Amino acid sequence: MECSTQWGLVQAANDFPGRQELLVLIGPHEAKAICYPAFTGYCRPGDRVLLNTTAVNLRLGTGGWHYVLAVDGRERSLSAQRGHIMKLRYTPLQGRVLSVEEEASPHHEIMAQADSLHGLPVAVGSLHSMLGPLAWLTAHYAPGRRLVYLMSDGAALPLGFSQTVTALKQEGLLAATITFGHAFGGDLEAVNIYSALLAAKHVVQADLAVVLMGPGVVGTGTTWGTTAMEQGIFLNAVLQLQGIPVAIPRLSESESRSRHLGLSHHTQTVFRRVVQAPVWLPLPTSFQQLSNWTEQLKGLRHRIVWEETGEAYEQLLAADLPFSTMGRGPKEDPLFFHGVAAAALLLSRLREGRV
């Protein structure tokens, strides 16, 4: 693995939960950078910072951000940190967290006894952009619900990178967040998907949960070379822990890549070859307008539920939060949002026991 680094001078800093957005001067040029204070401490104008510039140099779809590795001349004390579970293990950025399972955790005894989700409805998807519309719609159709977001390490690792999570928490649409694997920054930290699910049920008292990676899914154009495969692994975990698994379908009518038109080929692989037993698969009736919809569903042995999503889609259009996927909003790729709406409607009914 190779990374590129450069020194920069901080010109301006804006603070957000879990991150700072900086304007830095690299030679004669201004650039954007992100600082995670948990790693380096806070940056202030005038600080000289070492930046990881790899993604921008490669012109990847990261929004044009560099990342702060260190602040020149500043030592950072870790004495206030607790916990003995390391994330980003054996890298220069490894750091300790207090995981919900470990003995020093106030929740250790609960987690030591927890062994089942007892029918908790859990939605599992493959793109971070599914989180906003799902949270918005379940709040509308299942008022009073406690929705907990579990963030995997399939994409961005810091929860603080997600502007969506910041907005949803400010609006009161998420009851809690749990980061597991090497993802970090949630209200709770967990070692893996199983303990994260059990913590959602038994520690933060979720009555609905959603599992999604952070921003930045990785794909290669091959059948198996994508972090989206985690959807099947997590659906299996929900099954194994006696929860109710609800798959959020990845749909599109506007993708320029034909393999993602209709029901994404990654989602089809998950349903056909990864998930080990039937799960709930909600689909919008508008999906049936595609010419090849029967072919894409042929042979799927899952609990397909057809949902009328027109009203829910209108709710998203009227929402005061910006929703987008791959740079497209609800009007540019309606089918994607109808798919998320179908999952939100079924999830809301499952919460009420109306399925």
Domain harbouring 66, CATH code = 2.40.50.140
- Residue 50 inside a domain? The answer is yes
- Which is nearest to 117 in space by CA: 229, 231, 245? 245
pLDDT at 165 over 50: yes
Q: Tell me the pTM.
A: 0.93
Q: Does residue 220 share a domain with residue 285?
A: yes
Q: Does residue 132 share a domain with residue 26?
A: no
How many domains does the chain contain in total?
A: 2
- Residue 100 inside a domain? The answer is no
Write down the pLDDT at residue 320.
87
Write down the pLDDT at residue 221.
81
The residue out of 71, 97, 126 marking a domain boundary is: 71
Q: Does residue 148 share a domain with residue 56?
A: no
pLDDT at 290 over 80: yes
Give the mean model confidence (pLDDT) for residues 285-312. Answer: 94
Q: How confident is the model at residue 79 (pLDDT cuts 50, 70, 90)?
A: very low
- Residue 318 inside a domain? The answer is yes
Q: Does residue 57 share a domain with residue 179?
A: no
- Residue 289 inside a domain? The answer is yes
Write down the pLDDT at residue 340.
98
Q: Does residue 119 share a domain with residue 189?
A: yes
The residue out of 71, 103, 128 marking a domain boundary is: 71
Q: Does residue 297 share a domain with residue 220?
A: yes
Give the lowest-confidence range in 89-93, 126-130, 237-241, 351-355. 351-355
The residue out of 17, 36, 71 marking a domain boundary is: 71
Calculate what percentage of the chain has a pLDDT beyond 90.
78
Domain limits for position 12: 5-71
Q: Does residue 285 share a domain with residue 229?
A: yes
pLDDT at 170 over 60: yes
pLDDT at 78 over 50: no
Rounded Cα distance, 184 and 187, in Å: 9
pLDDT at 212 over 60: yes
pLDDT at 98 over 90: yes
93, with CB counted inside 10 A (0-12, 13-18, 19+), is middle
pLDDT at 266 over 60: yes
- Residue 324 inside a domain? The answer is yes
pLDDT at 160 over 80: yes
Q: How confident is the model at residue 256 (pLDDT cuts 50, 70, 90)?
A: low
- Residue 81 inside a domain? The answer is no
- Residue 150 inside a domain? The answer is yes
Q: Provide the CATH number for the domain around residue 126.
A: 3.40.50
